[in-house]
Structure 1
Amino acid sequence: MNLFSVNVMAGTLPGADTKVNLNLTGVSLRDAFRALAEVAEMNIITDNSVQGNVTINLQDITFLEAVELLAKTNGLSYRIVGNTVLVAPPSRLKAGFSEKVTRVFKLMNSEPAEVKESLNLLVKDSAIRVDDRTNSLVITAYKSQIPQIEEVIDTLDQSKKQVVLQARIEEISRDELEKMGIDWSFDTLKLIGNDGKAMKTLEMFGESVDNATVRYSSILDLLESNNKADLLANPQIATIDGKTASIKIGDQVPIVTTDVDSDGSKSSTVEFKDVGINLKITPRVTNNNKIVVKVRPEVSTVTGYTDTTPEYPIVSTRTAETNVRIQDGKTFAIGGLIKDEEIKAMSKVPLLSELPILGKLFQSESTEIAKRELIIFITPKIISDGEEVDTQLKNEFKSTEEEYNNESNVKEGQDNNSQNNLIDKKGLKNTKIVPFEYKVKGTDTFWSISKQFKISFAAIMEHNGIKYMRPLSAGEVLTIPVPANNYYKVKEGDTVKDIAEEYNIFTQPIRQINSIKSLDGKAGMKLVLPVEVKEEDRCDFNEENKVDEVKASKDTEIESKDKNKKNKGEKSNNEEVKKQDEAESSTTKHSSS
């Protein structure tokens, strides 16, 4: 550093209290400091970057007061080293006269990268190194900066509260909601998509958190018990204040991309795209223990198939983003995703509908369009103790598969067959199984097939000798281990809708499992249901086995008789051949004589 030095009589810092009087007009800043040093008989060194002109009139002030006023009014700093005053811009003083040190700051609660961003205001980015292994920051800075750095880190590295997020995803009959007078109130969230439908957010207001929770859950339980709602998933996840939690529920479908090379040859690549519901939730806890929840739902569905051979699914994706301020433990809902479900029903007059030609007059087919709405309920709960979160998650968190397998409570007014339980491998061991061949469709996965049949996908994989989860191919045939008691024998006049209402299930899985649209002309058909069938409606596989045994016995008897006849015929033929041989031999002898 090139400095301009003015040396006058040797003095000491105590002499810095000497009173000075100085009057200068339009002199350079460096000359002003030189004159001040001469008057006080002190040593001053000014940096060569000190420039500009100044006019001063100082009366009866100490030397150090004069230096400080002159330096600060011109954006400079000074430092006393021994019996000399150093004057320079602040950055030059730090670079030339301050000693740098390296310190390691171990963070207990925060991410090093996040704290580093805040420290960049104090220290250059290159002076901070993140050590992810020890969750530490390694900082090289001037000694004078260390106290300020420590203060900033202590402020930022505070223990954050944790939030448990409970989600309940329901598909509900829209018509039934309107009948009950339920409306998931005000439009505040717009979907980004081709159809431009609105989503809605609602806080479940009430006297208390418990009352609000009971009210909405009771409504859902009532709808489910009447087959007007379907619980798709009930996941629970914990996250830290300000951190994003992600919940994905759905399947994967193959998306094929075809590239044409310069020589005209084509190459195809297959990617699997998530189809279903993807929730990204970021909670932020305020000082008054309210929660600001940023929610970004993404809903994707298969809207159709390409005209190519083979067919590939067309996926439509809609996304939205909203912020909701809510009290700890209360519930809000995101709704408005309405779809149309087509239900075909056939009505017949017994006997008369079977008459040739005229029978059509006693039949009628109707198509019903049912509107179903997807609603996502989210309940954030603040948990301060990390151990409590761990315990709560162990006790309450269930994946969808575990929930199906472990559910033990039966809804009031329903029998055991109406539960959402999945039959696992253990349950199948003590059950008579009648295998069912199922042809895989384009969007099927092990999980979706498991949900249709209400049989654990692990049991399906084991039954087919499949060790590892893999994508399924359209047209592939799986053998499903269906309990014999799940086979329904179709009677004359049965309709899919009637059977669904009788067994409190939806019509869609019946049609998908059995690959049917209606039961017209299918009397006697063995229909697989995802629930246990009443004894009077079951297929009698024991009787069929007896018939098969009798038939096999008769076939064996006929085969035995045929064999005896054949043996007798062969014996008779042998005797005739023997007689002919003897006769020929006798004739030969006579001729010879």
Structure 2
Amino acid sequence: MKTCVRVLAIGIAAISWYMPVSALQVRVSDAPIRTVLEGLAKSGNLNLIIDDSVQGNMTLHLDHVTPAQAVEAIAASQNLFYDTGSPIGIITAGRNEEKGKQYYTWQLKNTTPEAVIRAIQAVVPAAAVKSYADSNTVVVGSTKREAQLVNKLVQQLDKKTAQVDVAVRIVSLDRKALHKRGIEWDWQPFGSGSQTVFSWLGQIQALSEQGKAEILASPHIMASNGKAAQILIGDRVPVLKEHLANGEKTASISYEEAGVKLNYTPYIHQDGSVTASIEAEVSTPVWVPEMKAYRISTRRAKTIVRMKPDKTLVIGGLIGKEEMEHFRKVPLLGDIPLVGKLFQSRYKTAKETEVVIMLQARPVQDEEQNTVATELFPPIEDEKCLLAGNGVDR
């Protein structure tokens, strides 16, 4: 199969291109060189930069050639320099060594062309810069000295982003059981002879064995330095919304996220410690039978804390109340019409719960980027821990 390239030489040549194929028949007469090259690049899906110095018209007849071969033939016949030493071809007029402005390419590994281009334009505003997203490549037209500046800039920017390995454990605790064991969130300074504040971790383990504590989730995420990572453990539920318009109260239903939401933004220091901005939110849906929808009860905590890799951050005080309706009946007798209610019982119970979020953060070295940590938390008896409620280490 072949495609014909036709030229109507009336004043300025016009070229008609058909679907891109492997073999072409090229017929051009007094056509602009730039137009022919652009058409060949489009037909052959070639990454091609044509310098502004490429000017003039040409006449050319070629049979059974690929778009790339046609470009090479045009460059040779028109005394153009065709640089194919990078993923993007570059065509300039004359010998490239004789030109003050040359083209340089950088294929980025760890960042995007957009981020690099902004920096290049700020440092070398005279440079001509173009990017190719499909090959993650930046092409810069500049002098040799400017290219040296750009190269240093690219080397600084095209580095692996530091990452933090974040292990999270979310636990729901029975408030009554906590009170019986004397566990409270007290932010007063502890004296030298007081009981260690971290002994309650072992008590939480004991509560779990008694069914008074439940691990809701143990997610594990990687967070990039300076960028927010989010964990959402929950679902979207229909929520009742009330509106007041023209003195009339109306209600509508919309869907909102309910559950445990955690936003974590790390900032890594050279000593291996991590300063993190943390926002925790626990949203509990409360069923409204009259509206057949939920109301959302929300508890939030926000802190900024600096942690070392061997410590655990604990966010507590996210207290909520759960109301439950229970129904019991005597089998068979409870199903008898009218009198069956005598063998049925309904009652409500309320339980206060507290959600505790425990986090560990560890900067990941370059050789560990593609690995996953196997240990989320150290043994419970390792009591190197931080308490966070007001953004201050204790």
- The TM-score, its normalising length taken from structure 1, stands at 0.36
Match for residue 236 of structure 1 among 206, 220, 229 = 220
The residue type equivalent to 1:166 in the other structure is A
- In 2: Cα distance, 1:125 partner to 1:185 partner: 61
Query: Partner of 1:245 in structure 2?
Result: 229
Q: Does 1:371 align with 2:372?
A: no
In the alignment, is the contact (CA less than 8 A) between 1:119 and 1:149 conserved in 2?
A: yes
The residue type equivalent to 2:217 in the other structure is A
Judged with a 3 Å threshold, the aligned counterparts in structure 2 of structure 1 residues 317 and 123 are, in CA distance, closer, same or farther, namely farther
In the alignment, is the contact (CA less than 8 A) between 1:184 and 1:333 conserved in 2?
A: no
Query: Partner of 1:392 in structure 2?
Result: 372
Shift in Å, 1:178: 3.4
Q: Does 1:169 align with 2:170?
A: yes
In the alignment, is the contact (CA less than 8 A) between 1:337 and 1:373 conserved in 2?
A: yes
Three-state SS of the structure 2 residue aligned to 1:182 is coil
Shift in Å, 1:148: 1.8
Query: Partner of 1:314 in structure 2?
Result: 295
Query: Partner of 1:135 in structure 2?
Result: 136
The residue type equivalent to 2:221 in the other structure is I
The residue type equivalent to 1:336 in the other structure is G
Higher RCO (Cα < 8 Å, 6 or more apart): 2
Judged with a 3 Å threshold, the aligned counterparts in structure 2 of structure 1 residues 342 and 316 are, in CA distance, closer, same or farther, namely closer
- In 1: Cα distance, 2:197 partner to 2:369 partner: 23
Shift in Å, 1:382: 2.2
- Structure with higher strand content: 2
The residue type equivalent to 2:211 in the other structure is N
Q: 1:289-304, aligned counterparts within 5 Å?
A: 289-304=272-287
The residue type equivalent to 1:138 in the other structure is V
In the alignment, is the contact (CA less than 8 A) between 1:170 and 1:375 conserved in 2?
A: yes
The residue type equivalent to 1:281 in the other structure is Y
In the alignment, is the contact (CA less than 8 A) between 2:279 and 2:300 conserved in 1?
A: yes
**Gapped runs of 5+ residues in structure 2?**
1-98, 190-195, 243-250, 328-345, 377-394
- Structure with higher helix content: 1
- The TM-score, its normalising length taken from structure 2, stands at 0.52
Q: 1:449-488, aligned counterparts within 5 Å?
A: none
Three-state SS of the structure 2 residue aligned to 1:121 is helix
Judged with a 3 Å threshold, the aligned counterparts in structure 2 of structure 1 residues 366 and 283 are, in CA distance, closer, same or farther, namely same
Judged with a 3 Å threshold, the aligned counterparts in structure 2 of structure 1 residues 236 and 257 are, in CA distance, closer, same or farther, namely same
CA RMSD of aligned residues (A): 4.1
**Gapped runs of 5+ residues in structure 1?**
1-97, 188-201, 203-210, 259-267, 347-364, 398-593
Bigger Cα displacement from structure 2, 175-184 vs 333-342: 175-184
Match for residue 304 of structure 2 among 290, 315, 323 = 323
1:399-439 Cα offsets, whole Å, 9 max, x none, are xxxxxxxxxxxxxxxxxxxxxxxxxxxxxxxxxxxxxxxxx
Three-state SS of the structure 2 residue aligned to 1:172 is strand
Q: 1:100-499, aligned counterparts within 5 Å?
A: 100-124=101-125, 127-186=128-187, 217-254=201-238, 272-305=255-288, 307-308=290-291, 311-317=292-298, 321-342=302-323, 369-386=350-367, 388=368, 390-393=370-373, 395=374
Shift in Å, 1:170: 0.7
The residue type equivalent to 2:320 in the other structure is K
Judged with a 3 Å threshold, the aligned counterparts in structure 2 of structure 1 residues 134 and 184 are, in CA distance, closer, same or farther, namely farther
In the alignment, is the contact (CA less than 8 A) between 1:164 and 1:389 conserved in 2?
A: no
Judged with a 3 Å threshold, the aligned counterparts in structure 2 of structure 1 residues 396 and 123 are, in CA distance, closer, same or farther, namely same
Shift in Å, 1:369: 4.8
- In 2: Cα distance, 1:373 partner to 1:125 partner: 60
Larger-gyration structure (1/2): 1
In the alignment, is the contact (CA less than 8 A) between 1:329 and 1:382 conserved in 2?
A: no
The residue type equivalent to 1:277 in the other structure is V
In the alignment, is the contact (CA less than 8 A) between 1:334 and 1:375 conserved in 2?
A: yes
- In 2: Cα distance, 1:306 partner to 1:342 partner: 13
